[in-house]
Structures are given as structure tokens and as C-alpha cells.
Amino acid sequence: GYDKFVQRSKEIIDEEWGFKGFVRAYVRVNSVAFSFRGLKVPVEGLEELVDETKKCLIEARKNKQNHFLLIQKANIQARKQAMIDESKTIIQVASGAAGL
């Protein structure tokens, strides 16, 4: 039935398409109401899809901010090291000049 379809879809997305660990959530969505053999199938799942998408966007924004901060920290460390190296060179030159 329907649950087998959903399970098989997850397997295809995760395994065959290689998205396992990348896809955070699966939401069953029917975006258009229709009738099937006399049964009315309503629109459903759109709110859940939007909610899950919001969660992903919030997490992506946090990841982006963390990445930016890591880059800034690395840049600061590189500048500090450059200052230390420059100071060592100045000290060596001054020591050499004083010895002459």
C-alpha cells in the first residue's frame, strides 16, 4: 500500500540517489485534492512541509554563521602568527646590528 510506497521512496532517495544522512525529514504531501474510486483525497502535508523547510533553513543559517566565525578565527590566528614572525625578524635584525 501507501506505506510501502513511502518506504521504497525513502530507500531510493537514501541509497540509490546517495542522499542518506543529507535528507533530514520526509513529509508526505498531497498538494492537489482529487477523487479516486469515489474517495475524496484532500490536500494535506503542506504545512508540515513548510515547517520542516523552515527548520532546515534555520539550521543552515546557524551553520553559515558558525562557518563564518571559524574563518574569522583562522584569519585572526594567521595575523597573530604573522605579527610574531615579523617581531622575530625585527629582533634578529636588531640583535645582528647591535653585535656589529
pLDDT in tens, 25-77: 888 888 899 998 999 989 999 999 999 999 988 988 999 999 999 999 999 99
Question: Quick one: pLDDT band at residue 100, thresholds 50, 70, 90?
Answer: low
Identify whether residues 38 and 74 lie together within a single domain: no
Closest CA to 45 of 28, 32, 26: 28
All cell numbers assigned to 18: 546517495
Alpha-carbon radius of gyration of the chain: 29
Identify the domain containing residue 75 by its residue range. Answer: 49-100
Q: pTM here? A: 0.52
From residue 41, alpha-carbon distances to 23, 29, 32, 37, 47 in Å are 27, 11, 8, 10, 16
All cell numbers assigned to 77: 590566528
Identify whether residues 36 and 57 lie together within a single domain: no
**Residue 68, helix vs strand vs coil:** helix
Identify whether residues 54 and 95 lie together within a single domain: yes
- Provide the pLDDT for residue 28: 84
Total domains present in the chain = 2
